[in-house]
Amino acid sequence: MMDNISPILCNNVLMYLAGRKRDVSFLTNLPGASKKLKVFNVDLSNPESFREAIEGCIGVLHTTTPIDLESKEEEVIDEIYWSDENLLRDLKPFAWSYSISKTLAEKAILEFGEHHGLDVVTLIPTFVLGPFICPKLPGSVYTSLAFLFGEKNPFGASRIHMVHVDDVARAHIFLF
C-alpha cells in the first residue's frame, strides 16, 4: 500500500488563508521540512492564489474546518426551503457553526466537482482525537480532556462518537 501513496505524499504543501498569517514554525522546524515542505499564502476565494501550490499535484486533500468554541455564530445563508442548514440553525446544537460549515463545504465541493468534471470524494469524520504538533490545543482534544478533569459534557446528554486522527489519515489515503 505504501507504494500507492508515495506519489501523493512526495510533495508536502501547506496553505493557509490570506490575511490570517500564523506562526507555522512548528511545521517548518520539523525534521526534513526544509526539503519537503513549502508554505504558500493563499486566498481560497481567489483560485489563482493557490495555482502555484497545486501545480503538478494529482490530488488535493482539504482536511480542516475550524470550530468556534465561543459560539459567536453569524447568519451564513437564508434559504427558503428546509435543509440540513436550516435544521442546524433552528436547533443550534453545541458547535453548530462547525456542523453547518462541514455541510456547506461538502455541498459546494460536490457541485464544483460535478460542474468541472472532477472526481470528488468527501470524508467527514466525527470528533477527531489524537496526538497533535501545533502549539495550541485543538478544540476536539480540549473538549475530550474536559471529561478527564470532571468538567461538564459540552454536548449535553448526547453521545459523542470519536475517531483517531491516524484512522482519519488512513481513510483519506485509502479513498484517494
| Catalytic-role residue among 102, 107, 136, 152 | 102
Residue 135 corresponds to which cell in the numbers above? Answer: 502549539
Q: SS3 of 89, please?
A: helix
Map grid coordinates 479513498 to a residue: 175
Cα–Cα distances in angstroms (integers) from residue 25 to residues 18, 34, 121, 136, in the given order: 17, 11, 31, 13
Half-sphere exposure of 9 (CA within 13 A, CB side): 12
Cα–Cα distances in angstroms (integers) from residue 147 to residues 13, 70, 152, in the given order: 35, 18, 7
CB count, 10 Å around CB of 86? 15
* Cα(129)–Cα(125) distance, integer angstroms: 11
Residue 36 is among the residues annotated as catalytic for this protein: no
* Cα(98)–Cα(103) distance, integer angstroms: 9
Q: Would you name the residues annotated as active-site residues?
A: 102
